[in-house]
Structure 1
Amino acid sequence: MDTSTTKPTAERSNRWPWIALVLRLVLAGVFLYAGLPKLTHLDASRRSVRAYDLFSYDVANVIGTILPLAEVALGVILLVGLFARFAAIISALLLVIFIAGIASAWARGISIDCGCFSEGGAVAASQTKYPQEIGRDIVFLILAGLLAWRPRSRFSADGALWG
């Protein structure tokens, strides 16, 4: 049997769990970095969601309260590698929502800081960074998509529980 054609495939399949580990840890870091500071500044999180002017005051406040909790929970789940495919899909959905929200603010001429990794809110038009924020989130969306496609990774709770 000619192993020259099977060896590269085997090597790639041996590398993927390590690549998936990196993807999982990067996404976990992103969501933890975004969510943890907001937990101690829920008023700023609520204000950031209200700045998008997409929801009523009360709905924006609920979203601004729940979002940091969801980000931290998602970060922890990704960190330990539990239900990695599901967590990656939820990550991707959140990122699509974030991209749509930023694009909506940009299209409507609203000048805000997205609030992704900061307190967010209204800023001067010259301070908006919509293309960079959307580009960054697209990169994270690609990472989430790759992890959803092939979620098996090293050092994961999934692997410990289900092999």
Structure 2
Amino acid sequence: MPHDTASARATSWRDWLSMACRFGLALVWIISGATKITEPVATKQSVAAYELFSQNVSDLIATVLPPVEIALGVLILLGIALRWLGGLSALIFLGFIAGIASAWARGLTIDCGCFGAGGYNEDVTWWTYASEILRDTIFVAMAVITARRPWTKLAVWP
């Protein structure tokens, strides 16, 4: 009997973690996309500041990214294709980490623009980059948990 209680507690703990990751991930995407979509010029400047793409490609990314982020957030919130969208989210966050690391390695001083206006910023330090990478690493972990063990209660199509 004690084994059943321990098993139930473990399942409960995992359910809570999975639920927190699913809804936290949805919130991150919705907030990130909403802050970008309301400031399209600042979003274009943020993407261009990474100096990774031509101006046309940067503008396209800045235009497409906010509605994609909002859509990801809403779909995850609704519980649609959680495993697939969790995996996609992890890949996108890994791309963001690569972009931030690239800017840091190339000596750029930019704010990532992850939650609104970013771009060139003289006040950026090593800690700015490190904390952005750490934050996005936590988001990757949330996405992986959502993909591997999605909390499917209140899900439309898990």
Match for residue 23 of structure 1 among 21, 40, 51: 21
TM-score between both structures, scaled by the size of structure 2: 0.92
Opposite residue 133 of structure 2, the aligned amino acid is: I
Opposite residue 124 of structure 2, the aligned amino acid is: Q
Q: In 2, Cα distance between the equivalents of 1:96 and 1:53?
A: 18
Contact kept, 8 Å, 1:35 with 1:69, in 2: the verdict is yes
> Is 39-48 or 110-119 further displaced after alignment?
39-48
Identity %: 41
Q: Which residue of 2 aligns with 1:153?
A: 152
Q: In 1, Cα distance between the equivalents of 2:74 and 2:135?
A: 21
Contact kept, 8 Å, 2:112 with 2:118, in 1: the verdict is yes
Q: Which residue of 2 aligns with 1:136?
A: 135
Q: Which residue of 2 aligns with 1:100?
A: 98
What is the Cα deviation at residue 151 of structure 1?
A: 1.1
Opposite residue 136 of structure 1, the aligned amino acid is: R
Structural mapping, 1:4-153, within 5 Å: 4-124=2-122, 126-128=123-125, 129-153=128-152
SS in 1 for 2:147: helix
- Structure 2's unaligned 5+ residue stretches are none
Q: In 1, Cα distance between the equivalents of 2:37 and 2:115?
A: 12
What is the Cα deviation at residue 26 of structure 1?
A: 0.4
Q: In 2, Cα distance between the equivalents of 1:36 and 1:20?
A: 24
Contact kept, 8 Å, 2:93 with 2:140, in 1: the verdict is yes
Contact kept, 8 Å, 1:52 with 1:112, in 2: the verdict is yes
SS in 2 for 1:155: coil
Question: Across the two proteins, how many residue pairs are aligned to each other?
Answer: 156
Cα deviation 1:44-64 (Å, max 9, x = unaligned) = 111111100000110111011
Cα deviation 1:102-147 (Å, max 9, x = unaligned) = 00000000000000012111000x3341011000000111111111
TM-score between both structures, scaled by the size of structure 1: 0.89
- Structure 1's unaligned 5+ residue stretches are none
RMSD: 1.5
